[in-house]
C-alpha cells in the first residue's frame, strides 16, 4: 500500500490532538516507524464491512505516519477469533495491529475455550463508527415485519462462524425472543448477501452499514434495528417486554457503539502507542477519508485511545445474570447450528438425472452429495435452474453440510 503524506505527525501533534496517555511523547517514537512495515490484520475474508473499514484505516494511517508502509493481511476463521488471537500474541513493537468484530466481547464474557486473548489488556487505538445491528430479510421471502418473522415456521439465517458477533447475536436473540431461526454458519464477508440472493438463506443479523446498499438495491429489507439514530426502521426494543430480553438487546446495542475497532497486542511501548493513536485520529479527520467513506455509504463516528478502552471495559462489566443468559443462549443445542462447507470446482460425476453428484471438497478429496429438487438451491449463470441442467465439468460453488449428505446450494457457471 502506498500513499502520500498529507501532513507531518509529530509528538507535538499527538499532544495537541489529545490522544496520548503520557505527559510527553518523544519524537523518536514517531520516527521509529520510518522505513518500517506495519502489518494490519483483518480477521475476516476480503469483502464486507470489516475488510472495507480495515483497508480504509490502514491506507490513511500510513499517510499520517510518515515513512511507514502498511500491509493488509486478511486472516479469517473461527468467527474472527483466529485473527484476534494472532494480534494479541504478536510482538508488542507497534508493528502489528488490526481489526476484529466486537462479538468477541461475548466470547470473553462466557469464557469460550478458543480465545487466547484478554480484551481488557489489548492496546486500544480507536474505533471508526457506531454501526447498529439490523435484522435483514431477503426480498425473496414473504416476511415483511418482525411479527411475521416471529410467527413463521423454521427460517434459515446465515452467520460467519461460532464466536462472531453475528453468530452470538443471532443465537442469543433467537433463544431469548423465541424466534424460529435455524443458523447456518460459514458465510464470511459479503457471502451472506450472495446466499440471500441465491435463495440459500432467508436472513441475517448484521451491521446496517454492510447491508445498506443491499437493501437500497432491492435485494432485501430491514425489519428491525438495534440502536442507532435512524428512524426509518423499528427498534427491536419496542417489541420486547421481558426484562431479561431487554437486557440482552441493550448488551447488543453496546456492541454497535464500539464498531470497526483497531487494536494491537498488550505492551506496546507507550510512546509508540501515542504515535499510532495520533496517526489514527489524523486519518479519521482526513477529509478525503471522510468523503470516501460517505461515498461508500459507510458511517463514521470515531473515538480514540483510552476512550475506546473504557467502552470495552464497560461492555465486559456485565452482571452474572446477563452472562448466564448469554452463555445459555450460546450452548449450541443439537440441531440448532449447521456448520457448512464451501467448495469450488468442476462437477466430477452426475448420476440419477442429477440426484447425486461428486465434487472435490476443500481438501481436494471427492465428496458425494445428494441434490434435492426442492431443498437444494441451484443457479446456472446466475439464473434459477433444475438439477437436470447440471453437467459434468461444470464449474460450480457448492455449499453443503460438514460431513457431506445433501447439498444446500450449487451456483454454477
Does residue 317 register a pLDDT over 50? yes
What pLDDT is recorded for position 1?
53
Domains along the chain with CATH numbers: 11-130+257-319 (3.40.190.150), 133-255 (3.40.190.10), 341-412 (2.40.50.140)
CA distance 259 to 126: 10
Does residue 3 register a pLDDT over 50? no
- Average confidence (pLDDT) over 213-217: 95
User: Using an 8 Å Cβ cutoff, are 359 and 347 in contact?
Assistant: yes
Closest CA to 303 of 344, 348, 260, 243: 260
Q: Percent of the chain at pLDDT above 70?
A: 89
What does the pLDDT look like over 161-170, one tens digit per residue?
A: 776 778 888 9
What does the pLDDT look like over 121-159, one tens digit per residue?
A: 999 999 999 889 999 999 999 999 999 999 999 999 998
CA distance 126 to 280: 7
CA distance 364 to 212: 37
- Average confidence (pLDDT) over 341-368: 83
- Average confidence (pLDDT) over 252-260: 87
Cβ count within 10 A of residue 261: 26
Tell me the three-class secondary structure of 130-161, residue by residue.
CCCEEEEEECCCCCCCHHHHHHCCCEEEECCC
Does residue 16 register a pLDDT over 50? no
Q: Among 104-118, 187-201, 269-283, 298-312, name the one with the lowest average pLDDT.
A: 187-201
What pLDDT is recorded for position 6?
40
What pLDDT is recorded for position 160?
78
Q: How many CA atoms lie within 13 A of 385 on its CB side?
A: 19
- Average confidence (pLDDT) over 237-254: 88
Q: Among 230-244, 260-274, 286-300, 323-337, name the one with the lowest average pLDDT.
A: 323-337
User: Using an 8 Å Cβ cutoff, are 186 and 340 in contact?
Assistant: yes
What does the pLDDT look like over 67-77, one tens digit per residue?
A: 999 999 999 88
Q: Which residue has the higher pLDDT, 30 or 324?
A: 30
- Average confidence (pLDDT) over 88-107: 94
What pLDDT is recorded for position 135?
97
Q: Which residue has the cell 486478511?
A: 74
Tell me 170's DSSP state. H
Q: Which residue has the cell 429438487?
A: 373
- pTM equals 0.65
Q: How confident is the model at residue 23 (pLDDT cuts 50, 70, 90)?
A: very low
What pLDDT is recorded for position 48?
83
CA distance 192 to 136: 10
Does residue 373 register a pLDDT over 70? yes
Does residue 174 sit in helix, strand or coil?
Answer: helix
Q: Which residue has the higher pLDDT, 274 or 8?
A: 274
Which residues, at least 6 apart from 170, have a Cβ–Cβ distance to it below 8 Å? 157, 159, 181, 183, 204, 205
What does the pLDDT look like over 33-84, one tens digit per residue?
A: 999 999 999 999 888 889 999 999 999 999 999 999 999 999 988 878 999 9
Q: Which residue has the cell 491506507?
A: 59
Q: Which residue has the cell 423454521?
A: 154
Closest CA to 44 of 90, 104, 100: 100
Does residue 338 register a pLDDT over 60? no
φ, ψ of residue 132 in degrees (nearest 5): -65, 155
What pLDDT is recorded for position 91?
98
Amino acid at each position: 500500500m502506498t500513499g502520500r503524506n498529507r501532513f507531518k505527525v509529530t509528538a507535538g501533534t499527538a499532544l495537541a490532538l489529545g490522544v496520548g496517555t503520557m505527559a510527553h511523547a518523544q519524537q523518536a517514537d514517531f520516527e521509529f516507524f520510518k522505513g518500517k512495515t506495519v502489518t494490519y490484520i483483518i480477521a475476516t475474508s476480503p469483502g464486507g464491512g470489516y475488510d472495507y473499514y480495515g483497508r480504509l484505516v490502514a491506507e490513511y494511517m500510513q499517510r499520517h505516519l510518515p515513512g511507514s508502509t502498511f500491509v493488509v493481511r486478511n486472516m479469517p476463521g473461527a468467527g474472527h477469533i483466529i485473527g484476534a488471537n494472532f494480534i494479541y500474541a504478536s510482538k508488542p513493537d507497534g508493528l502489528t495491529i488490526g481489526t476484529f468484530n466486537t462479538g468477541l466481547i461475548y466470547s470473553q464474557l462466557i469464557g469460550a475455550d478458543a480465545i487466547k486473548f484478554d480484551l481488557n489488556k489489548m492496546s486500544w487505538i480507536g474505533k471508526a463508527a457506531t454501526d447498529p445491528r439490523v435484522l435483514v430479510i431477503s426480498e425473496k421471502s414473504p416476511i415483511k415485519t418482525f411479527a411475521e418473522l416471529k410467527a413463521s415456521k423454521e427460517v434459515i439465517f446465515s452467520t460467519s462462524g461460532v464466536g462472531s458477533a453475528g453468530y452470538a447475536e443471532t443465537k442469543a436473540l433467537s433463544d431469548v425472543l423465541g424466534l424460529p431461526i435455524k443458523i447456518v454458519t460459514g458465510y464470511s464477508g459479503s457471502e451472506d448477501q450472495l446466499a440471500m440472493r441465491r435463495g440459500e438463506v432467508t436472513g441475517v443479523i448484521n451491521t446496517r452499514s454492510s447491508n445498506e446498499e443491499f437493501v437500497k438495491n432491492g435485494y432485501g429489507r430491514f425489519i428491525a434495528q438495534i440502536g442507532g439514530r435512524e428512524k426509518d426502521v423499528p427498534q427491536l426494543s419496542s417489541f420486547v417486554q421481558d426484562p431479561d430480553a431487554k437486557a440482552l438487546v441493550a448488551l447488543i446495542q453496546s456492541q454497535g457503539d464500539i464498531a470497526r475497532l483497531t487494536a494491537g497486542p498488550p505492551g506496546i511501548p507507550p510512546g509508540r502507542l501515542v504515535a499510532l493513536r495520533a496517526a489514527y485520529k489524523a486519518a479519521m479527520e482526513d477529509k478525503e477519508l471522510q468523503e470516501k467513506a460517505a461515498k461508500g455509504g459507510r458511517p463514521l463516528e470515531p473515538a480514540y485511545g483510552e476512550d475506546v478502552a473504557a467502552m470495552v471495559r464497560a461492555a465486559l462489566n456485565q452482571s452474572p445474570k446477563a452472562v448466564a443468559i448469554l452463555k445459555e443462549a450460546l450452548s449450541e443445542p443439537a440441531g440448532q447450528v449447521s456448520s457448512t462447507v464451501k467448495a469450488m470446482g468442476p462437477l466430477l460425476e452426475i448420476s440419477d438425472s442429477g440426484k447425486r453428484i461428486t465434487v472435490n471438497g476443500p481438501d481436494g478429496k471427492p465428496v458425494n452429495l445428494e441434490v434435492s429438487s426442492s431443498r437444494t438451491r441451484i443457479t446456472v449463470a446466475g439464473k434459477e435452474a433444475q438439477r437436470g441442467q447440471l453437467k459434468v465439468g461444470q464449474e460450480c460453488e457448492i455449499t453443503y453440510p460438514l460431513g457431506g449428505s445433501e447439498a444446500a446450494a450449487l451456483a454454477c457457471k
